Structure 1
């Protein structure tokens, strides 16, 4: 086995007692892919219920190629990834290679040009995709590692494979959970050294971006910057947090220090969850759950 592959370890696993991996033709496979985490989820389409979820994280430094190698290795041994035929396969891509374009300005042939305004695009190693947010009247243009797309194309023959950027999954999930309000709401999704900040006012997107942070000082700087930029009041306006944030962590402490109205998010409604999911924190895995709403 490649030494990179052995660096990824399973850190989370829940599977419904009644789930049978051989019945994959009637289920949706959701994959969240990034260099620092691979998450696998299964939704039983007939029952509209999540029935399996697994998490894999590296024990040290890793790369995108190492994560792809992990998927390739798992697809030869793992009961879920050994199944090539699914009702639907949807891959969530975690990277900072994305840009949002107003729907009225979007042209398919110009996707690479849009991206190159915000990121360095290596066309030998990346493939450009896009996702249409109809309710927001925006298009998210992003890249998928070419090796990952090649693996998915060869492995899931006969299955419909779709690609969605993590920010798109989050925005659709937040929209699904949003309440109509006259005040903007800041939604925070914390990942490993990355934070995605989304501001919605009603059903209108006011802000969306993803930032790398190396310390909790960096983290709170980005949060306060967005609040100030959008003229939000940290003592009054609502802030909702999802992702890899623990109640007794420095990140949570610094949030509570500067922002009064912080609350943890919940699992999306409108879809069911096996009782096995009751053991998981409700504010985690939101990007994977939200793939269900990326139609």
Structure 2
């Protein structure tokens, strides 16, 4: 059930989860500045077993130390696979034909501040989009995981790249320009497509929500001639959707809520997660986001 206890906003667990079968499961952390989601996914049964949301009221490393000390599952040392999903603004999308593997830091610094002495850099190829997603993340976070899970296969991803992979699964049905939005607790992800072609991707820290229609319309005008009639698909956490959906409906005629990614199973305990929530988390369980 959803709770507000010990800075833990959500804890949902499959009642049939068996700790003796951890050897077939993946432990994932979706780490932002202010919150962290933790999931357990049975890779053999393709089933979600645990979903938790925690507030971060200190540094991410202090939070990880605390949750490792207190959480029975996080402290287990025999996870075969660990996924780290980074939530930050250190990213850049580069056309694949222009991509240079030795220039990751140079791409990132065009978009935001980064320190190569403190940050690591990684890439993810989006072949169907003919683009390479470059991102940076604090080296001490990766070091923390390598120090505690010495036998696990550890992979690092970025939330924006995972969101784009979720959208790719829908593109074969779309021929006209469309805008895809995902509103997390403090960030708006925005991806514009003309048919199957990616035209724009960006992320914004949410400040004054009343400014978002203007930002969205300016983004649409960069790739669509249909203006306010451009199709918009909206995902997001429930609290944000409650305020954002009626606001956007005033300006955009073809607004619809996104649906939950498919290709994995969830027990009835997870029904309280709305179908438009946590697309970048639930989408990470699809086969295209597993490596």
Q: Distance between the aligned counterparts of 1:122 and 1:263, measured in 2?
A: 40
Change in CA separation of 1:180 and 1:249 when aligned onto 2, cut-off 3 Å:
closer
Q: Deviations over 1:132-186 (max 9, x none)?
A: 2122221111111122111111112111111111110100011123342220221
Residue aligning to 2:191: 198
1:91 to 80, 84, 95: 84
What number of residue pairs does the alignment pair up? Answer: 284
Q: Which consecutive aligned stretches of 4+ in structure 1 deviate over 6 angstroms post-superposition?
A: none
2:10 maps to 12
TM-score (norm 2): 0.90
Structure 2 counterpart of 1:49: 47
For the residues of structure 2 that align with 1:275 and 1:33, how far apart are their CA atoms?
Answer: 26
User: What's the counterpart of residue 111 of structure 2?
Assistant: 118
**Cα 1:248–1:187, aligned 2, differ >3 Å: closer, same or farther?**
closer
* SS of equivalent residue, structure 1 residue 229: coil
Distance 1:250 1:279 in 2: 19
Where in structure 1 are there 5+ consecutive unaligned residues? Answer: 1-6
Q: Distance in 1 between matches of 2:204 and 2:222?
A: 15
**Residue 28 of structure 1: aligned partner:** 26
Kindly state the Cα deviation for residue 246 of structure 1 after the two structures are TM-superposed.
4.0
Q: Deviations over 1:35-72 (max 9, x none)?
A: 111001111111111111000124xxx56xx1221112
Distance 2:222 2:244 in 1: 21
Q: 1:73 pairs with 41, 66, 70, which one?
A: 66
Structural mapping, 1:99-118, within 5 Å: 99-118=92-111
Distance in 2 between the 1:90 and 1:271 partners? Answer: 17
Give 1:237 shift: 2.8
Q: Secondary structure at the match of 1:116?
A: helix
Does the 8 Å CA contact 1:30/1:291 hold for their aligned counterparts? Answer: no
- Structure 2 unaligned spans of 5+: none
**Residue 247 of structure 1: CA displacement?**
8.0
Distance 1:191 1:112 in 2: 26
Give the secondary-structure state (helix, strand or coil) at the position aligned to 1:96. Answer: coil
Q: Secondary structure at the match of 2:215?
A: helix
CA distance 1:224–1:268, change in 2 (3 Å): same
2:214 pairs, out of 212, 218, 221, with 221
RMSD: 2.0
What aligned pairs does 1:249-288 form with structure 2 within 5 A after superposition? 249-288=242-281
- What SS does the corresponding residue of 2:72 show, helix, strand or coil? coil
- Separation in structure 2 between the aligned mates of residue 248 and residue 184 of structure 1, nearest angstrom: 23
